Amino acid sequence: MSDPDGFISTNTVSHEGDSQCEYDACTASTPPTPKPKPKKKRYIPPQPDSNTFPTQQAFLDSLTPISIEKVDQMNRKCPICWKPFGEAPDAGFDNTEQPVQLRCAHVFGDKCLATTYGIPETLTIEIRPFSYLPQSRAHALSQKLDAYTTQHKKPLENHAKIFEEMLEESYQPGKGREIFGDYWWLVLQELRDDIRHTKDVIFLEDAVIVELEETKPRQNNSLPCYSSIQPGALTPVSTNMNQTLSEATAELSSSSSSSEPFGGLMSTTIPLQWSLSHGDTITIPAVPPPPPGYPQFYTPLPPIASAPKPMPNSTGDLKETASFISPAPPTIFEHYLGASEASVSWEAALVGETQLDKLAALQKQAKQSLDDSSTTHKVQALADQVTIDAARARQNRRQERLERKKRERKALLARKLAVIYASFQASTSSTNLDKFETPSKPSHLVHASMVVHTKDLLGTSYEINPPGLVYVLVGNELEEHELELDTQTLVPIIVRSICNECCEISEEAAREVSIPESLWWRNDVNTPDDCPLCHKILFKKGRKLPHFLEGVAWEANVPNE
């Protein structure tokens, strides 16, 4: 006969030694809790610091060779060309490398650093004025203008009107190149799509200058969107702005404590007003407050019956412990009907009016009142309609402004074409038969935005960003993509404006700004500015950023061939 104590102890030991529970099916179905993935550190590109040279030339001037003995034995090769420092030059080459230590403590060869970070060459685009000599672009455009006026037998006393109709006809599909030719249709199409405030357009043989007007920021007087405002809500338009939230809430609570079904709130109106910039106001009449809140529907419950008193014949011990006895829980009728009504019969309790019946009556009365007076829905519909009308009006104004700018740009181009045609007619009597050389390769339009400062008023040559760059914004980083373009085929469209921030230039001086004769840039596309090993910034290039970042933008526009 087995010992029960031993059986119990053995069973206990076996359970303690067992690594699995007897309910494995339950634990196996529980999925493991996924561990949160560690957040990746955001990449931050190297930034200039106190060791960064202000210019590229200052960095090149600091490249002084050091002694080879000061370089670690394992690092006595140039990391760029892998030539040992101090080794004899190769046959026919001057490529002896001497160690140069940068501020980031990395060592490179002096010849490799001079080649890698050297000042790039300067490229220039020559800009020629309009010339009506044969084979020039101005002559080709004038021939197109003369052919249109002759073919359509237009009156010659209003050339601007004629060429405005010519531009309108060229906007039709397939008509542009036929009317103006490949080159001038490409230029006019670019000018048509630019709808900025333009003061003047200057046509040159190898470029186009677009003079922008000085514009000031316009104040936005659009109405606020109030379609989502709930009736009776405590918003800045319905309450005093100098009143605290607690004071406004106290007023709302005091008005809601009325004995009326809705606490006296339905008779209260809250007019909504929006003040416009010109002094007028828009008033939406009688915004009703919200229906009564939850406290109005749920009246306070009656007090629970007190603890029973001790019996008069109780003993002294019972009297002493009676105060520590917990009171009996009240019945359902004592809880809802109160202690005074708990003694009524079941029949009377069932047919009597309860608090729930009172609540249902209040809800029914509130529903009837809302059905009778649909002011809330009317005000909401009015607010929605006002919002829709305001949005439609803004859209119409924007569309009208766009159409007006297009008409103004078309009229400006027509006037400039009329001036070109008049100059062409005056030059036909010239006996100069020299031919004008025009590049035979397809032209590429590039766009440049430049701001003229006081020092640039009399200048005839402007430094620009390399036109072979296309800036692409990827995330928060600006990447450069190079285009292989011939400088002889580049036709810049220069968008020029007068500085109104750091310079004080009068209108007379702005009208006398000289026409540029050349544009130049340094071909430093492939010139790095950081260390090849640690990528620490060595010097500041000083190149301007595009227009959408710092006022100057370039992009290439290659026509379809």
pLDDT in tens, 86-96: 998 888 888 89
Please tell me the distance from the alpha carbon of residue 195 to that of residue 216, in angstroms, as a whole number. 16
Q: Where do the CATH 3.30.40 domains begin and end in the chain?
A: 56-119
Per CATH, domain 56-119 is 3.30.2300? no
Q: Is the separation of the CB atoms in 71 and 84 below 8 Å?
A: no
Interval 454-503: pLDDT, tens = 888 888 888 877 765 544 444 444 444 455 556 667 788 888 888 888 88
Could you report the per-residue pLDDT of 103-134, keeping only the tens digit for each? 999 999 999 999 999 888 888 888 888 888 88
The overall pTM is greater than 0.85: no
Nearest partner of 557 among 197, 129, 193, 175, judged by Cα: 193
How confident is the model at residue 473, as a pLDDT? 42
Q: Give me the residue label for tokens 């090993």.
A: 533
pLDDT value for 70: 92
Name every residue whose Cβ is closer than 8 Å to that of residue 342 and which is 6 or more positions away in sequence. Answer: 305, 330, 331, 333, 334
- Residue range 510-525, pLDDT digits in tens: 878 888 888 888 776 6
Reported residue count of the chain is: 561
Q: Which pLDDT score, from 0 to 100, does residue 119 have?
A: 86
49-62 burial by CB neighbour count: b if 16+ within 10 A, else e?
eeebbeebeebeee
Which is nearest to 265 in space by CA: 240, 288, 234?
288
Residues 6+ apart with CB under 8 A from 413: 163, 167, 188, 191, 192, 201
* 539 secondary structure, DSSP code: B
